[in-house]
Amino acid sequence: MSKVSETTLEINLGALKGNFNFLKSKLQSDTLFLAVVKAFAYGSDSIVVGKYLEKIGVDYFAVAYVKEGVKLRQSGVKTPILVLHPQSDNLKLAIQYSLEPSLYSLKLLKELEKVVFDSGIANYPVHMKFNTGLNRLGFKLSDVDLLLNTLAESSLLKVRSVFSHLAASEDINEKKFTENQIALFRSVSEKFINRLNYPVIRHLCNTSGVLNYPEAHFDMVRCGIGLYGYGNFNKKAYELKPVASLKSIVSQVFNAGAGETVGYNRGHVCRLDSKIATIPLGHADGVGRQYGNGVGAVYINHQRANIIGNVCMDMIMIDVTEVECKEGDEVVVFGPSHPAEEAAEVANTISYELITGVSQRVTRKFIK
């Protein structure tokens, strides 16, 4: 009997807790733990996951955008929330919901100062983002003196943390580059902090940084993908368990004769008499067209079945000629037994893209 009755993303909160405890065990007792819950908590459910992580003791949250933080606050989350990429138009909203913006440009800093001044408050907490080599977002290292002088001109803002982001902490071949990033961050953060007369949190490491560079944990670490069960492809991450399982059911099983075609544009031609199953899951649910025509596969009754033809918006067809199955049987796209990393690899992508791409129309089910 199928455990699901429709396309469902199962979210295992017990696995989430286990991953949190595993990553936490790699830290010193006084190192803070920031949980990244952007993009619907990596495709799951940011509100349920956020509330659960708050209950088990995370120290900070991070989201990408202000509106993600607003949803957490509206759900009752009280833990501090860092907004990694705030936009000018949402700064008033950030203050309204006590969200702490990352500042990555002088323009944004000045805009926030104006909003804070107009709000009649002072010492609003902010996080200073420095670019140490990722070259994506952040102040230049040469901006330190200008920033410190600008901040000293008023009491509108108070620096809560100084941080940066590692570019390749999972790649042992880039160890020298990563060590250089760590050294640069250590230098710029020390210079910044030495000019302030109050304590400031320093943070640099992501999940791979936590596992590979314990000397760079500083005061806090930021864990995203590791919380959801993925990390380094090595023994250091063996205890991480995938939190999400994408499942569906067999809607129909039918026979197709040799020479018949399957799907749009007659994408698959049956070389032999075949048995085909249709699954109510398509590219609108997160299984992209790149998985069609034999690239991707699903699992039915522990047996692999290749996706054939072009992936449709709401359906995929699979070859079950050699698979024992019937209508209503459960179908596993990815999960603990068949990690998203494996499915992502065949499509030349990464687990992040696959798990965060699961559509919001897919039912979420939580298990402990």
Residues recognised as catalytic: 38, 264
CB count within 10 Å of CB 76 equals 10
| Cβ proximity of 286 and 354 under 8 Å | yes
| Cβ proximity of 241 and 13 under 8 Å | no
The candidate with the shortest Cα–Cα distance to 33, out of 160, 192, 205, is: 205
At position 6, the amino acid (one-letter code) is E
CA distance 245 to 9: 6
Using CA of residue 335, residue 339, residue 342, residue 344, what is the dihedral sign? positive
At position 288, the amino acid (one-letter code) is G
The candidate with the shortest Cα–Cα distance to 242, out of 42, 68, 8, 2, is: 42
Token reading at 205:
């490491």
At position 90, the amino acid (one-letter code) is N
Token reading at 365:
């089910």
